[in-house]
Structure 1
Amino acid sequence: MAENKAASRYAKSIIDLAIERNALEEVRQDMVSFAQVLENSSELGAILRNPIVPLDKKWGILENVFSGKVHEITRSFMQLLVNKGRSAILPDTATSFVAQYNALKGIVTADVTSATALTPANRAEIEAIVKQQTGAKQVFVNEKVSEKLIGGFILKVGDRQFDASILSGLNKLKKEFAQGVA
């Protein structure tokens, strides 16, 4: 938990610095790219978390991977954390940065699991409903298809969930019958 708090504080500091230097969009893209690289390379994440790997080796690897590809703010930040022995929280900091950026810009992600692929009209309706309910300026819809739902959908936004699937309705009905019989 302390690591996540530190990552959140570092992310907030970087956002403030990036705003001050008019580089918020570039740094956001760097953080998204960094998170993607970590997602695709578990080895890099393991190296950053490993206390046995020397700091100069960690920085050398990051420098090799990101040299010339990230904004100077991002580069300096990565170097600072590595030099302070805090490279293990770099992944959490990148994730926290993106979350704080989204909150700052009014961007919400909606995860929709449906029995069939969403039509453009369904997608637009979900975006409109999420905007209305959350006050978001922009909504990204992550879509997943799961035939086991039989029909309907499950919508998750943050820690809220709306389940309008047939599977859920059948499970509720099954529980009611089981309680009525007993």
Structure 2
Amino acid sequence: MSIFTVASRYAKSLLDLAEEQGQLDAVKGDIEGVVSVLKSNTELLAILKNPIIKGDKKRNILAAIFEGNLNPIILSFFYILVNKGRAAILLDIAQEFVREYNETKGIVKASVTSATALSEANLADLQKIITEEIKAEVILKNTIDPALIGGFVVRVGDRQIDASIAGKLNKLEKHFAAQGV
């Protein structure tokens, strides 16, 4: 069974449990924090993925880091993962939980790449336009790529709108190449 399938099943279980307990939003917030911690701490990830390190040691490490900082549901869930030998995919499960939460709540992630950072007003306007267009709540992230020269590229799901100068120059170059100029 693929890691994605396993991570998806565990994430769905946690999602269902949190919803049943009426703590879905609190658990989601904590899980986002866990994702951040795991992504920024390669040593912790290495420990969780190491099959030589015993489960009780992994549980103690998780308890030392997260106890008192996380919803008890999550910590208990992590202990179950460790007991079942699934600590190596804890990050995958946490990321899948956030994705499934967003899907359940109708939240769509979008990104806008621009040559320079967009102002908060521009981001808010763009977020509003995307929200109205797709009729769903949008989380918009701005990344910077000076190679775009100017303009922006918006990605929502599998759709992309390229309104960058670099994109227009590439289209022009392809047009001239097709014309044999």
Same fold? TM cut 0.5: yes
- State the match for 2:71 in structure 1: 71
Greater CA drift, 141-150 or 48-57: 141-150
SS in 2 for 1:162: strand
| Shift, 1:139, TM fit | 1.9
What is the identity, as a one-letter code, of the residue corresponding to 1:29? G
Within the alignment, does 1:125 sit opposite 2:125 as a pair?
Answer: yes
In 2, Cα distance between the equivalents of 1:111 and 1:87?
31
- State the match for 2:146 in structure 1: 147
What is the identity, as a one-letter code, of the residue corresponding to 1:131? T
Root-mean-square deviation (Å): 1.5
In 1, Cα distance between the equivalents of 2:50 and 2:96?
21
SS in 2 for 1:109: strand
In 1, Cα distance between the equivalents of 2:103 and 2:37?
23
Q: What residue ranges of structure 2 are gaps of 5+ in the alignment?
A: none
- State the match for 2:107 in structure 1: 107
SS in 1 for 2:53: coil
SS in 1 for 2:153: strand
Following superposition of structure 1 onto structure 2, how do residues 16-35 of structure 1 map, counting pairs within 5 Å? Answer: 16-35=16-35
In 1, Cα distance between the equivalents of 2:23 and 2:10?
16
| Shift, 1:158, TM fit | 2.0
- State the match for 1:62 in structure 2: 62
Q: What residue ranges of structure 1 are gaps of 5+ in the alignment?
A: none
Aligned residues: 181
| TM-score calculated relative to the size of structure 2 | 0.93
In 1, Cα distance between the equivalents of 2:40 and 2:168?
38
In 2, Cα distance between the equivalents of 1:108 and 1:59?
34
| Shift, 1:170, TM fit | 0.4
| Shift, 1:147, TM fit | 2.4
SS in 1 for 2:69: coil
| Shift, 1:108, TM fit | 1.9
Within the alignment, does 1:4 sit opposite 2:4 as a pair?
Answer: yes
Q: What percentage of aligned pairs have identical amino acids?
A: 49
> Once the two structures are superposed, what CA deviation does each residue of 1:24-46 show, in whole Å capped at 9, x if it has no partner?
12211221111011111011111
What is the identity, as a one-letter code, of the residue corresponding to 2:141? N
- State the match for 2:169 in structure 1: 170
What is the identity, as a one-letter code, of the residue corresponding to 1:166? I
In 2, Cα distance between the equivalents of 1:81 and 1:148?
43
Within the alignment, does 1:157 sit opposite 2:161 as a pair?
Answer: no
> Once the two structures are superposed, what CA deviation does each residue of 1:103-147 show, in whole Å capped at 9, x if it has no partner?
1222222211112332344223311222123221x3222112222
SS in 1 for 2:170: helix
In 2, Cα distance between the equivalents of 1:114 and 1:132?
21
| TM-score calculated relative to the size of structure 1 | 0.92
